Structures are given as C-alpha cells and as structure tokens.
Amino acid sequence: MNEGIDLPEAISNAFSYAIREALLYVGQTAPNPPVGCVILDQQGKILATAAHHEAGKLHAEALALRQCRVAGVWNKIHDVIVTLEPCNHIGRTPPCSESLLRTPARRIWVGVADPNPNVCGAGNERLRQGGKEVFLLRDLCGKKSLYWQKKCEDLIAPFIQSVTRGKAWITVKQALDVAGSMIPPIGKKTFTSFTSLCQAHQLRRGTEAIITGVNTIKEDNPSFTVRYVPDHPDRKRLLIICTKQQKPLEEIVPVNYIKNAEKNNFSLVTCSKIDDLPYLLHNHNILWGMVEGGPQLLQVIRQKKLWDEWLIFRKQNKGDDQLKLISNHLASPTRLLLSHFNFVDFSKRKEGTLCSLVS
C-alpha cells in the first residue's frame, strides 16, 4: 500500500472524464462492462478520451491509443488513466496490457481491479513486469483516490455481480403519488414530473432488459421504449414478462403487442419461476435489468429479495418529485448514472423500509 499517496489533480480530473465518457455507453456494452480511459501528456494535458462502445469493438484503452496515433501525439503519452484493470487475455480483441506496453506511457492509473477471479491482477502484473509504474486506487490512501475508486465500482457493479455471483443486477423503479399510491389518475399513464420522466428514461437507456408483469402488458400496453433522452442507436433489449402461466408467449400476450415490441427491437421472454429471474437474465447476457411493473409484481420481488436497488419517485404537493434510492449494496450504478439529479436520500436497505411502499 502506498501510504500517504493521493491522486495528483490532473489524474483526479482524468478519472472524472473517463467515467463521464464510459457513462455514455452504459446499457450498450453487455456482456462486457462499461470502461473509460483518458491519456495525458507529462504536463497533464489530455491527449485522448475514449470508452468501450460495445462487445466485440475496441476496448477503451485501445480506442484512446488509436486517437493518439491519429492525432500525431503518440510520443507524448505519459499517463494512462483507466476505470478498470486492462485485460491481459485474448478474447474478441487483443489484450490491452500488451498494447499499453508498446507505448511510451510511464504510469498506468487503474480505478478497480478486474473482478473476475480467473484474471484479477493479471493485467496490472503484466504491466509492472513490462516496466510500467501501476497505481491501483485501492492501494492509495487519499480522499480523492477513495472517491474515484467508489465511482469506478459504481460504474461496473452489475458486471461485478455477473462474474462473481452469476446473476444480473436488478433495479426496481417505482412511482408514487402524494398519498403513496402507484395508480395514476383515470385517463393518465403517469403522474410524475417531466424531470422524473427524464430520469426514468435515462435509467431505461442504461439497462439492457425490462422486467414487467403480464397484467401490466394487458392493462397498460406499454412500449418500454426510451424517450425524453436519446437512446443508443439500434439498441436491442430483452423484455421479461413475469407470469404464473406456463404457456407459449403467444397464448399469454396479445399477438399485436408482440409484433409491436419486436418492431421496437425487443426480444420477449416469459418467466414463470420468479426465483430464477436474476439467473434467467444472466443467461441472456444481461448485466442490468429494470423492473417496471405493478404493485403485485413489486411485492413479490420485495418478498423474494430479488432486487439490488429500489428507486422511488414520489410526487409532492409542491415542487419537484422526491427521488429516493435504496440499495442492497455499497455500490450503486443508478446513483452514478443519475448523478446529475438530486436524490433526497440514498441508503442501504433496512428491514421494513419498503413494506408500506408496495402494499
């Protein structure tokens, strides 16, 4: 551990830019994690900023290095800041550790180690063997390094759960009126503010699957498309329909709904065994799914403890809706993704916290 060492200001700022860039592609990278990378010269000037866009395409480090070559600043590379430990194995793309070793970079700053137990630490070790100075944020003791370490963990929390526990991350989204009811007024589909709608659609954009109930489909005919904010181009998502019926999809959901959902780039799958939901998502290469359903589905998910985060929009008599986030973990991808919005509260779950909200 590097006692007393904290991040230089330029490195701290670079982590901010790297995370901001990675957030642009959250919801598009699965089964890979979102990763951001910034390259600096010796004076701390930014030479390149990049992120991993989607599986099979260049990793963040490789894309940033390409930008340096194109810009003619390759020889100026001094510091590489990356939110996740560079890979050291050959997959659909070459190992980033080897690419970095071929650069004049002196220092590599790593947000978090790779959570995959089969490869954790291998990239950092290869870089050190190759003569690079490697700084892992958890080994530093300053306030800034701890701050950015937590942000980097928030960024890949669903990926961490995927590779360590073999299941997807599930965030429940719930909207309540002033009285605490989930039922909108007659003739309306929502009662939340425009700001809350933007937040909800930003979260929908960042997830790869929507989880709902068959009654919500039949009663509300929801499209579950991303509106209010720009979506990822041509993004395909999974729609999980929870039902107790063990029948073919066409016998559970209206055929016209299936056709319209498929036009909107959804693949539809039913889930009749709710306990299997996190693993069903994982088997479809989903890192992060969002629940958008009625009181009955939310009650079951709460009772079965299938959720990782619970996001509550609550309408107020005056002013903006209140936004509350409850988590079963220290890390929170929702908190990071919606960080430009104000949460009235963020807390770890306490027994009984949600009882009155889903009954």
- Give the start-end residues of each E strand in 150-298: 169-176, 209-213, 237-242, 266-271, 288-291
Separation of alpha carbons 204 and 226, rounded Å: 6
Beta-bridged to residue 176, according to DSSP, are: 314
As given in the structure block, the two tokens for residue 233 are 């181009």
CA distance 302 to 121: 36
| Distance in angstroms (rounded) separating the CA atoms of residues 144 and 20 | 16
The phi, psi pair for 353, rounded to 5°, reads: -55, -40
Catalytic-role residue among 21, 61, 153, 309: 61
CB-based contacts of 323-332 (< 8 A; 24+ apart in sequence): 323/196, 323/199, 326/353, 326/354, 329/157, 330/150, 330/153, 331/150, 331/153, 331/154, 331/157, 331/160, 332/154, 332/157
> Hey, which residues does 237 pair with through a beta bridge?
266
28-42 burial, b at 16+ Cβ within 10 Å, e below that, comes to bbbebbbbbbbbbbe
Q: Is 71 exposed, middle or buried (0-12, 13-18, 19+ CB in 10 A)?
A: exposed
For the chain, the C-alpha Rg in angstroms (whole number) is 22
Question: Could you confirm whether 98 is annotated as catalytic?
Answer: no
Contacts of 336 (CB under 8 A, 6+ apart): 19, 23, 151, 154, 155
Structure tokens belonging to residue 147:
């701050």
Complete DSSP assignment for 285-307: T-SEEEE---HHHHHHHHHTT--
> Is the Cα dihedral 281, 278, 161, 201 positive or negative?
positive
Residues that are catalytic: 61
